[in-house]
Amino acid sequence: MQDNNIIRTEYSELMQKSYIDYAMSVIIARALPDVRDGLKPVQRRVLYDMSELGVKYDKPHRKSARIVGDTMGKYHPHGDSSIYEALVVMAQDFKKGLPLIDGHGNFGSIEGDGAAAMRYTEARLQKVTQEAYLADLDKDVVDFGPNFDETEKEPLVLPVKVPNLLINGAEGIAVGMATSIPPHNFGEVIDGVIAYMKNPDITTEELMQYIQGPDFPTGGIIANKDDLLSIYETGMGKIKVRGKVEYEKLKGGKERLVITEIPYTMIGANIGKFLLDVAALVETKKTSDIVDITNQSSKEGIRIVLDLKKGANVEALENLLYKKTKLEDTFGVNMLAVADGRPETMGLIPIIRHHVNFQYEIATRKYKTLLAKELDKKEIQEGLIEACNVIDLIIEILRGCTNRKDAEKCLTTGDTSNIKFKSKASEKMAKQLRFTERQANAILEMRLYKLIGLEIEALMKDHNETLEKIALYEDLLSHRSSMAKMIMKELTAFKKEYGRPRRTVVDNLAEAVVEEKPIEEKDVVFLMDRFGYAKTIDVSIYERNKETADSENRYTFVCKNTDKICIFTNTGQLHTLKVLDLPAGRLKDKGTPIDNLSNYDSKNENYIYVASLQSVASGKVVFGTKQSMIKLVDGSEFVVAKKTTAATKLADGDEVLAVRALKGNETMIMRSGKEAFLRIECATIPEKKKSAIGVRGMKLDKNDELKNVYILGDGENEMVEVKGKEFALNRLHIGNRDTKGVKK
């Protein structure tokens, strides 16, 4: 490559530009819907392709694979899975307020079952999609642009006549931004649009008389009605959605709670999670009122049944379900869409304003196209009518000329030079003819049967209809009020045919309150074996089996059931878990790995010391590391709400070798890799904050580091092997910190 072809540029600038280009591509051309038609590019392309393939609502279904393949080949070269997923979602009535595709076959379920492969399913357009989303594409109502390889043309936006962005909502994650728009009721949104068209100065509060709030396909109850005004004004906020619970009494005094509607956010795998959460409430004894839970949902709808014991507190149980499960959930609203080529967060009125302006634009373009066609028809009709009045003269002209060109010239300019006439009078009349070129062509191509009286009457009738249409189109194009009436008339017709009752109830409900039963504080014994399996047992069981319990477990100590367990690791982290979260049972029960109950990761760290938070917080904690950094920390610093926190600061390459909560006269023995030992009193170690590295405990030779740190309590001893011989650590004399110690 020659030097003059190399572009020299700053790498950071090139990366920044490239990333911005990528981000904008994702934002505009993939993840966010257009405010005008409420569709993402992939959805728009699927619908347009189905229209081009002729997969209409009154035609047979076509294989989804054919639709996906055609869309990918012509318009959307991003892989078949994204196209098929978009097609499937547009066919799911539990996700879309107004499904745009009529699916035939397995298109998934509300419980999270995926659709069958595209080779097994079939699809076609819904009637409403043809009438309100794809109509008038042949009337130059929207701009078309080249596809990815410039071999086809595709619409840059579909001429959608209803506010689809609100009706079907949208979800999408772009780069640095995301959209989340809830679906709304078809009829309510159309009423809101009509109200805005009648009064463009309408306030959001006034508009909410028509659009009460989101209307989710799964029904449910919106519990914070008062927050909707702020959400619709700013385009952002949180909606609390609850499932619908019914109470049934059965024979024999039995009772049950039946969930018949679920929050929109529970669609899919969250239904299974809800069932597990309810089972967990029973297992953890948060409630004892539930006897059994069954999912009896079917094509007819959701039905999750909770069988209750006699005398169950139904109201308290309902509140518990709202508080502790996904039966009450939050739908985060962020009404972000592409408007005028850039992403914008909009409230209710700006979205409707953009939609209405778009309706005027496509209606204006439509009626301009229709007007031009009617004016062309008028020109030809007037020529044919005039020709019928002088038909004898025209026949004489045709019989007197030798070619079409002479006849056409005579009809348009009155040139009779190459035509033979029977009389001078006829020639004189012919010279006065001034038909347009289009009229002349129509006359020359007219068939003789058109001269029948009834045909002439039909021509006059068509002409009158054409004149009426021209007057109508000119009125619509000249007067905005007339155009508004026409748009509102269309919207009203759509509402009448496709509107449906609201499914979601909008209300202000009191927050669910759960009265936690006070836990009876008592002593329990914490047991943890060398594999990290932990549990608690009653003190009485431990006392009867003390020898067995101590021999089989690495950690054994008494603590309160309301306490927490502290796990100090070699990476300097402290993980905590509640004693109540530990399984309580018998001595022979296996227990649960601490990995499952806390943030402790046995693959990347090792626990050094395990103790109750009460024993840690009530005194001092001593630390010793591989690089011979030691310190004391006040135990109160470890009383934190977080499940994981930094217990100490470590230098690069360092790790914790020993941690212990001190009780009194403990000593620390440091052992180096070169078998140097130093024993010091823990009381002489300086106290530091947990965020400090500490002080040097033992002077080490070059390339040496501590192999072990032992902490012995008063009267304790530990035997270690040094050069093949056993050695008692309590025989070491106590020395001073920051010395070299003695070699063994």
Residue 575, strand partner residues: 567, 644
Confidence of residue 596 (pLDDT cuts 50, 70, 90): confident
Q: Tell me whether strands 620-625 and 629-634 are parallel, antiparallel or unpaired.
A: antiparallel
The vertex-86 CA angle with 83 and 88, nearest 5°, equals: 110
* Mean pLDDT in residue range 496-522: 83
Report phi then psi at 498, rounded to 5. Answer: -115, -5
* Mean pLDDT in residue range 386-403: 83
Measured distance CA(211)–CA(192) in Å, rounded = 6
Domain with CATH 1.10.268.10 in the chain: 360-497
pLDDT in tens, 31-57: 899 999 999 999 999 999 999 999 999
- In this structure, what token pair is assigned to residue 654? 């360092």
Class of domain 244-326: alpha beta
* Mean pLDDT in residue range 527-549: 92
- In this structure, what token pair is assigned to residue 134? 């794809």
Which residue shows structure tokens 């010395």?
739
Query: Percent of the chain at pLDDT above 70?
Result: 97
* Closest residue by Cα to residue 533 from 563, 562, 555: 555
Confidence of residue 2 (pLDDT cuts 50, 70, 90): very low
Which residue shows structure tokens 């109200």?
195
Angstrom CA distances, 246 to 294, 306, 328, stand at 15, 10, 15
Residues 6+ apart with CB under 8 A from 214: 169, 182, 183, 184, 222, 239, 331, 504
* Closest residue by Cα to residue 242 from 223, 270, 214: 223
The residue type of 129 is T
Q: How many CB atoms lie within 10 A of CB 4?
A: 6
pLDDT in tens, 396-414: 888 888 888 888 888 888 8
Confidence of residue 605 (pLDDT cuts 50, 70, 90): very high
- In this structure, what token pair is assigned to residue 677? 């030992």
* Mean pLDDT in residue range 497-512: 89
Report phi then psi at 205, rounded to 5. Answer: -65, -40
Task: Burial-class residue 415 by CB neighbours within 10 Å (0-12, 13-18, 19+).
Answer: middle
Q: Label residues 485-506 b or e (16+ Cβ within 10 Å = b).
A: ebbbebbeebbeebeeeebbbb
Measured distance CA(185)–CA(205) in Å, rounded = 17
Residues 6+ apart with CB under 8 A from 414: 430, 431, 432, 433, 434
Q: pLDDT value at position 517?
A: 65
Which residue shows structure tokens 């004016």?
375
Output Rg (C-alpha) for the chain, integer angstroms: 41
Cβ contact 155:126 at 8 Å: no
Query: Percent of the chain at pLDDT above 90?
Result: 63
Measured distance CA(502)–CA(653) in Å, rounded = 63
518 has pLDDT over 80: no
* Closest residue by Cα to residue 490 from 469, 476, 474: 476
Give me the DSSP letters along 647-687. -S---TT--EEEEEE--SS-EEEEEETT-EEEEEEGGGSPB
Q: pLDDT value at position 630?
A: 95
DSSP, res 532:
S
* Closest residue by Cα to residue 610 from 636, 640, 584, 647: 647
Domain with CATH 3.30.1360.40 in the chain: 244-326
The residue type of 267 is I
Helices (DSSP H) in 27-63: which residue ranges? 41-53
* Mean pLDDT in residue range 602-625: 92
The vertex-32 CA angle with 31 and 33, nearest 5°, equals: 130
DSSP, res 134:
S
Residues 6+ apart with CB under 8 A from 305: 256, 257, 258, 259, 293, 294, 295, 296
Residues 6+ apart with CB under 8 A from 15: none
How many Cα atoms are found within 13 Å in the side-chain-facing hemisphere of 51? Answer: 23
Which region among 310-324, 419-433, 458-472, 595-609 has the lowest average model confidence (pLDDT)?
A: 419-433
Q: Tell me whether strands 178-181 and 706-712 are parallel, antiparallel or unpaired.
A: unpaired
* Mean pLDDT in residue range 284-289: 81
The residue type of 528 is M
360 has pLDDT over 50: yes
Domain with CATH 2.120.10.90 in the chain: 523-743
Measured distance CA(46)–CA(173) in Å, rounded = 20
Confidence of residue 1 (pLDDT cuts 50, 70, 90): very low
* Closest residue by Cα to residue 110 from 92, 90, 86, 126: 92
The residue type of 142 is V
Angstrom CA distances, 347 to 58, 234, 361, 504, stand at 38, 5, 22, 21
Q: pLDDT value at position 3?
A: 54
- In this structure, what token pair is assigned to residue 128? 């409403």
Which region among 316-325, 442-451, 610-619, 638-647 has the lowest average model confidence (pLDDT)?
A: 442-451
Measured distance CA(210)–CA(189) in Å, rounded = 7
Query: At 166, is the secondary structure helix, strand, or coil?
Result: helix
Residue 153, strand partner residues: 146
Report phi then psi at 416, rounded to 5. Answer: -110, 15
Please provide the CATH number assigned to the domain covering 360-497. Answer: 1.10.268.10
Cβ contact 592:582 at 8 Å: yes
Which residue shows structure tokens 């007339």?
482
* Closest residue by Cα to residue 568 from 597, 528, 609: 609
* Mean pLDDT in residue range 667-682: 92
Does residue 120 have an active-site annotation?
Answer: yes
Cβ contact 556:536 at 8 Å: no
Query: At 30, is the secondary structure helix, strand, or coil?
Result: helix
Catalytic residue among 120, 264, 498, 609: 120
pLDDT in tens, 114-141: 999 999 999 999 999 999 999 999 999 9
Please provide the CATH number assigned to the domain covering 523-743. Answer: 2.120.10.90
* Closest residue by Cα to residue 628 from 658, 660, 667, 664: 658
Helices (DSSP H) in 212-347: which residue ranges? 228-234, 269-283, 314-324
The vertex-199 CA angle with 198 and 204, nearest 5°, equals: 125
Task: Burial-class residue 285 by CB neighbours within 10 Å (0-12, 13-18, 19+).
Answer: exposed
514 has pLDDT over 80: no
Helices (DSSP H) in 185-250: which residue ranges? 186-198, 204-207, 228-234
